[in-house]
Amino acid sequence: MITVELDNFSLKQICQSGQCFRMRETEENTYELIAGDQYLKLTQEGTIVTFHCSDVEFLCYWVPYFDIDADYAGYIEKINPRDHYLSAAAECGSGIRILRQDLWEMIITFLISQQNNISRIRGCIDRLCKRYGEQKYSEEGVEYWTFPTAEQLGTATEEELRALGMGYRAKYLVETTRSILSGEVSLEKLYRMCYYRRARQELMKLSGVGEKVADCICLFALHHMDAFPIDTHIRQVLDIHYKRGFPNRRYHGLRGIMQQYIFYYELTGAADIHRTK
DNA sequence: GGCCAGGTGTTAA
DNA sequence: TTAACACATGGC
Nucleotide at minimal C1' distance from the A229 CA:
B6
CB under 7 Å from strand B: A 17-19, 113-118, 120-121, 168, 204, 206-214, 216, 229, 231-234, 259-260, 263, 267
Nucleotide at minimal C1' distance from the A262 CA:
B6
d(C-alpha A265, C-alpha A240), whole Å = 14
Nucleotides of B under 7 A from a protein CB: 4-9
User: Of A117, A93, A138, nearest to A21 (Cα)?
Assistant: A117
A160 CA to C8 C1' distance (Å) = 14
A172 CA to B10 C1' distance (Å) = 15
Residue stretches of chain A with pLDDT short of 50: 277
Domains of chain A (ranges, CATH numbers) = 1-98+232-277 (3.30.310.260), 103-220 (1.10.340.30)
Question: What pLDDT score does A277 carry?
Answer: 45
Q: What confidence tens digit (pLDDT) does each residue in A163-213 have?
A: 999 999 999 999 999 999 999 999 999 999 999 999 999 999 999 999 999
Other beta carbons less than 10 A from residue A231's beta carbon: 18
Nucleotide at minimal C1' distance from the A113 CA:
B6
Nucleotide at minimal C1' distance from the A17 CA:
B6
Question: What pLDDT score does A275 carry?
Answer: 62
Handedness of CA A188, A121, A173, A169 (dihedral sign): negative
A41: Cα separation from own chain's centroid: 18
Question: What pLDDT score does A66 carry?
Answer: 98
Question: What pLDDT score does A276 carry?
Answer: 54
Question: What pLDDT score does A123 carry?
Answer: 97
d(C-alpha A196, C-alpha A86), whole Å = 24
pTM over 0.85: yes
Question: What pLDDT score does A272 carry?
Answer: 75
3-state SS, residue A165: coil
d(C-alpha A70, C-alpha A63), whole Å = 10
Q: Which residues lie across from A200 on neighbouring strands? A: none
A194 CA to C11 C1' distance (Å) = 40
